[in-house]
Structure formats: structure tokens, C-alpha cells
Chains A and B, each alone.
Chain A
Amino acid sequence: MERLTFDLATQPLRELNTFLHNDAKDGKARHVTVLNPDGAHNIAVGLDCPVEVEIVGHAGYYAGGMNKSASVTITGSAGTGVAENMMSGKVHVKGFASNGAGASAHGGLLVIDGDAGLRCGISLKGGNIVVGGSVGSFSAFMAQAGRMVICGDAGDALGDSLYEAVLYVKGNVKSLGADAQYEPMTDEDIAAVASLLDQAGLDHDPKAFRRIASKRSLYHWNADANQEY
């Protein structure tokens, strides 16, 4: 069966997730449409095969959580922790995303067409995030690896305690967090932003973005970094 539809108004979530973990992995469906999500939590979590899932409507917490290989699209908005700890594949939110979007993602691509809430990309570990709108405060907190492209504005303390992740922002940044700094855009940065915008299907001039990365002054514990830890 190529295509299959689950209606969460009549079918339990557990049935959908079990199908996606087992039958979809066995190739019994390449494309699954989820109707009437109605903000349910944990839709399409822990996927482990290249299935395409389209959630028609709004999703609750952790939609597409811990995704591996699959491609999950949410036509509405997503709750807290969308695509949290993603390993690979793609999660696309066509509306807005709440707090902790893409938290600790190790890989894959998270695209949010609208705005994202607080702590977007917190503890990022190698995944890529493209936000068409703005992000809330404390985004990319302690982000370790991967890239974030923010087409709108950023709130307070962007990139606080950054490790090796790199952030690109087009709009205004209310404030940078401890140990984050602006750095010049290199050709490599422009190419990376262009590629991520292209994968996200967003049309912006890559040269209009600013690069933010770690000062690395908190990498080694010392008395001169007064209360910055």
C-alpha cells in the first residue's frame, strides 16, 4: 500500500505510532496522512524509516520527536519540542512552533515557516534548523553543533553558552547570550545559508545574514569569567 490515512478522531494515537514503527518500516506504506490531529501530543515520534508523514492540522508536544530518516510535515502549528532529538530526516512546520523546537537534535533538518517560541535549538547537537520567522529568547542555549538560520528576529540571550554550533540571523537580535559573538560571514557561511534556505524553500538573500558563534571563553573554567557560567 503506497498511501494510507489515519484519522485520529476515530483511531488511537498508539495505533498510528505502532504502525509507523513496524508496518511502515516493513514498507507497507510510503506516505501516511494524519487527519484530525487536534493538538494531540507525540504524533509520529520515534520513526525509523524513510516514510513521509503529513499531519493535516495542529500538533501538540514532541511531534516528529527523535525522528530518524522520515519526513514529517505539519500543515498547522506545532507544540513544545517539535522534532526534539531528531537524528536525521526532515520535519517541516508550516505554521508556528512553540518552545524548545528542535531541542538537542543530533541531525536532520527542521524547517519552521512561521515563528518559534523560547529556546529554539537548545542543546543542538548537529541538526540544522531554519526558521522563516522569529525566535524567542534563549534560543540555541548551549548549542553544541549544527546550524540555525533565523530569517526574522531573535529575542534575548541568543546563543548563550554556545559550543560549536553556528547561528545566522537576518533580523534584529535583542541581545546575545554569554560567550556568543558576531563574526564575519565567509564564502563558506554564505554557501551554507544559501543551501539551507534552498532546502527550506525560503527566499532570502544569504548575504543579508549575520554569523554568530562562540567566543570560546567559557571552554575552560577560570576565575576571570565572573559569574558567566
Chain B
Amino acid sequence: METKPVQFKNLSREESYGYDRKTLDYIRNAAAHGLYEIRGMGAKRKLPNFDDLVFLGASMSRYPLEGYREKCLTKTVLGTRFAKKPIELDIPITIAGMSFGALSANVKESLGLAATEMGTSTTTGDGGMTPEERRSSKILVYQCLPSRYGFNPDDVRKADAIEVVIGQGAKPGGGGMLLGQKVNPRVAKMRTLPEGVDQRSACRHPDWTGPDDLAIKIQELREITDWEKPIYVKVGATRTFNDVKLAVHAGADVVVVDGMQGGTAATQTCFIEHIGIPTLAAVRQAVNALEDLDMKGKVQLIVSGGIRTGADVAKALAMGADAVAIGQGVLVALGCNGETYFQNGTHHDAIADYNALGTAPGFCHHCHTGKCPVGVTTQDATLEQRLTPAVGAKHLKNYLKTLNMELTTIARACGKQNVHHLEPEDLAALTIEAAAMAGIPLAGTNWIPGKGF
């Protein structure tokens, strides 16, 4: 009789670190299709982030403010450098640029309604300005993107500020891709494209190529708007120190820096996970650049990419940002990755629709398919009804209110009457990586790696 080998259960099932099941899946998928994967949302891998910082609340050496009663200002002014009409916000939390096309018209309207109630701004995206979002948004930032889809001077004149988009954190150096299933008749018409094509967005602007050209382009936008509107320049975080300096040189009123955790509606996974630097590192570089040019407070800084909580907002401000912009958090507030959607006064189970996409609530990144089970990132006539503007606006308003309460309560605990008084000195880092990237001392020490002891 043959003897069976002894089974060492754990050893014989040891998973490889380099060739784990995710990597095996990736290779098999590549072998099956010959195309890179495209998906939505931002980087999923573990990155140093704002959770790696903590606040040093007031104690003996600092005097706190009463958490609920004492005044703590949140007013934020953007675009004070050249614009005759700077943007005045009630809170330093804005809605990031997301396109009509990626999002449904209902969602764009929800964003406008909630932002208006909270006294903050919304931003258009690749695909132009819809009447719904202009109507619903008191303060609307109009993006000028490489593709120039739907870009026109009437909307430039209708906007409250203009954001020249050089790149975004999810894909610095890359253009976009709106897959055909989202190019419905209205989207196609706005973008001057045939219906249903897989639409590629350019990665470079058609009429300028470098920072010296951009200076002239910005001047053109100023001339067209008679120098009234603030001009923002948005960059994906890579060589942030140099890029922010060049944006300032080109004449930006406001610089928007989007870290690699920033989301997208559809981009190659290899971009999302492998191009760009974490937001934490980008904020430090951006602030250093402004300080180096003596432009802190003259050119405002908006930070985006993985801002989820009021604590994240407070940390970004303490590091030197003037405001933040939120995309994915906003979508989650509207129902993204939720198990149910709310329609006709009741909750409906969406799990079967997630399953049909091969995913489940909590893991979904299928924005690119246009089959969003909760009606957020879709152009489908049936699915988009799963989110109505009033319901979406109510949830988003609550989310923004919560963030703002968290922000002010942290500021008060640090003894600040104005959230813009938060400073790097209020922070400590929990990891060496975060200390090095954020330029914040490791908790319990005076040590910032790279800065000596």
C-alpha cells in the first residue's frame, strides 16, 4: 500500500507576498483581455494619510475655547490676488470638480442645492456646465479642461470662478476615458461626440504647452471676464513644490492640489495606484512653495484627495491649506456603495445590482460602467431616478454640516477662534513616514525626518 505524504497544512497553502491572489487575478485578467483595467474612485492601497496625524489640544500651555458656545469663524475668501470679485465661502469645504457625464444631472443638482445651503461652491467637470447646476449653485467654479468639451464663453461669463485643470490626483499626466455606455444623447450633444463612443479626453490643453503659455492663457480668461473672476489652477500631486511655484508664476489666484487618493470616474488602474504622491506629502510641498515665494495668504491653496472627515479638513488647514475640496466623500454621502437606494419614500435593496457588476456594497468602483446601483454615477434613464435632487441634497448638507462641526470643535479645542488659525504647531505625527511627508514632528519628539534633531 502506497504511503501518503504528510500534509503540512499551513506550509502547503502559503500565499506568496509578491504573487498574492490579487496579483494572480491581475495577470490572468491581462492575459484574457489584452487591455489594461479601467475603473472609478481613487487609490485603494494603504497610504500615509491624515489619520497619521493627531492634534495637540489645549491644556496647561494653551487655553481652549468652549466647544459649543464660543465663536469660531469658518469664513473663507478665495481669489484675492487679482480678481475684482473674490469668492466668499461660509465654510472652507468645497465640492470638487466632477463632470455631468460621470454623474447624473440629478446628482449635479443635489450638489448645487446642498452647497448653496451651506454657503460653499460646486465645480463643473469635463463636459461643460449644465443649466441644472448653474441654477442650483450660488457659487459655481467652471473648469477649463484639456478636452474643452462644451466649453464656451457664455458659460465662462456665467461662472463665479474659472479653474484651469492641468491634472488630477488620480491620473497626473493622463487624460480621461468616458466609456460609451455613459455617452447618452444629452452627454454626446454637450461634448459634440457621436452617441455611445468610448470617449477619450486629451491629457494636454490644445492651445498652450507650458507655464509661460499658461500665463498668457490665464490672461486671456481674465480679459474675457474683464478681470472679475478668480482663476484657479488645479494640478495632480507629483512634483508639487515646482508645480505650485509655476502655477503662481503663471498668475493663478488659487492653486488646487489633488493628491493621489483623489477619485476619478474612469481611469487606468495603473494610473490610480502608481502615479502621483499622497495628499499628505503634497500639502507640505504646496505650502512650502507658497512660503518660498512669499505668497502664503496672497494665493490661496485648496487641497483635495482623500478628505473624508472634519478631522481631515482640520489637519489640511493646520498644515496650511485655505480650503479643501471633496469628491468621493460627497458621493458616499449621496449613497455611493450603500446597500439601498431611497425612492418613492422607501428604501430598496440594491445588492442584486451590485452583484450583477461582480461586486458588493463597500467594494464598488464601477463608476466607469455607468451602471451605478444607487443612481449616482450613471446616465441610465432608470438608474438615475434612484437619486432625486432633494434627497441627495439633504444627505449632502448633513455631511457638510457634520464636517464643519467637527472642524470647529477641533479648532476650539486647540484654542482657535478661527479655523484658519490652526497651524502646523498644533499637530504631531504618529508614524515616521507621516512625519517626513507632512513635515510634522513625530509625536513625543521634536524629530522631523530629514530635518535633524
Contacts and interface: CB of A to CB of B under 8 A. Distances in A.
> Do A and B truly interact?
yes
Interface of A: 13-14, 17-18, 21, 41-42, 45-46, 48, 60-62, 65-66, 68, 80-81, 84-85, 87, 99-100, 103-104, 106, 119, 122-123, 125-126, 141-142, 144-145, 161, 163-164, 218-223, 229
Contacts of B226: 14, 17-18, 21
A98 to B, nearest CB: 10
Contacts, number: 116
A212 to B, nearest CB: 17
Contacts of A164: 193-194
Given A14-B223, A61-B213, A104 B206 contact: yes
A164 B192 CA distance: 9
Given A42-B216, A42-B219, A100-B206, A123 B147 contact: yes
Given A42-B219, A62-B216, A123-B147, A81 B153 contact: no
Contact of A81 (B35, B197, B207): B207
B223 A125 contact: no
Interface residues of B, number: 36
A70 to B, nearest CB: 11
B156 interface: yes
A47 B441 CA distance: 54
A104 B193 contact: no
B220 A163 contact: no
Interface string B148-192: 100111101100000000000000000001011000000000011
Interface string B215-228: 01101100111110
B192 A220 contact: no
A221 B35 CA distance: 9
Given A65-B220, A87-B153, A126-B192, A80 B198 contact: no
A174 B147 CA distance: 26
B260 to A, nearest CB: 23
Given A81-B208, A104-B206, A62 B220 contact: yes
13 contacts: A42-B216, A42-B223, A61-B217, A62-B217, A62-B220, A68-B154, A80-B208, A85-B148, A106-B192, A125-B148, A142-B200, A163-B197, A222-B35
A120 B35 CA distance: 32
